[in-house]
Amino acid sequence: MKSQYPLKVTRHVKIWFSRYPSVWMTKLNKERLIQHRNARPKDTITLVSDKKMLNQVAAKEMERFCQQHNIKYIDIKDLEGAIENLPEQYRENEKKILAIAKQELAYSKYITGCLAVASDLLRTLRVVLRHGMYSDTDCLVYDEQYGYSVEPHVRVFKEDFSLKKHSSIKQHPQSKKC
């Protein structure tokens, strides 16, 4: 049976945060983004990050890299405005998820926040998903067998994520390490 929800794999979202203000991304992951761009030159690649975690030199380097490789950049601060443009029924949860992600990033200065948790949270946001399918920087989404559209072999989860339903999501414990 053919899936009702084919996944288009021509729009990609990458999320990256750096714990080191002078290095916006490791050399290996930059090379992976270049490889992805070269393998999929017509695809849209969007990078979500947070410039305020970087010094000016690293922030400028990130901007140049994105321009040079035709990668759209979205700063985490711009997600707040995008959330305000969502239908009202989604705004509260999206704001809460973004707030928790920002809290993780703020705590990362003290090595207690987890950059991966912030990334995991952001990839669930509607304002991020509208830019494409999330994949890790080491993942090139293309397969000769499937081409540019993948038919899932499992049912696609369509229920809205709700913080009210998931009581295990609480304030960040300061002692947690990632």
For the beta carbon of residue 41, count every other beta carbon within 10 angstroms.
8
pLDDT digits (tens, 9 = 90+) for 59-108: 999 999 999 999 999 999 999 999 999 999 999 999 999 999 999 999 88
DSSP 107-169: HGGGT-S-HHHHHHHHTT-HHHHTT-EE--TT----BTTTBTEE--SSPPP-SPP-TTT-TT-
Percent of the chain's residues with pLDDT above 70: 72
Sequence letter at residue 91: R
pLDDT digits (tens, 9 = 90+) for 95-149: 999 999 999 999 887 766 789 999 999 999 999 989 988 888 877 665 555 455 5
Q: Where are the domains of the chain?
A: 7-150
Tokens encoding 94: 């999206």
**pTM for the structure as a whole:** 0.77
Fold of 7-150: Spore Coat Polysaccharide Biosynthesis Protein SpsA; Chain A (3.90.550)
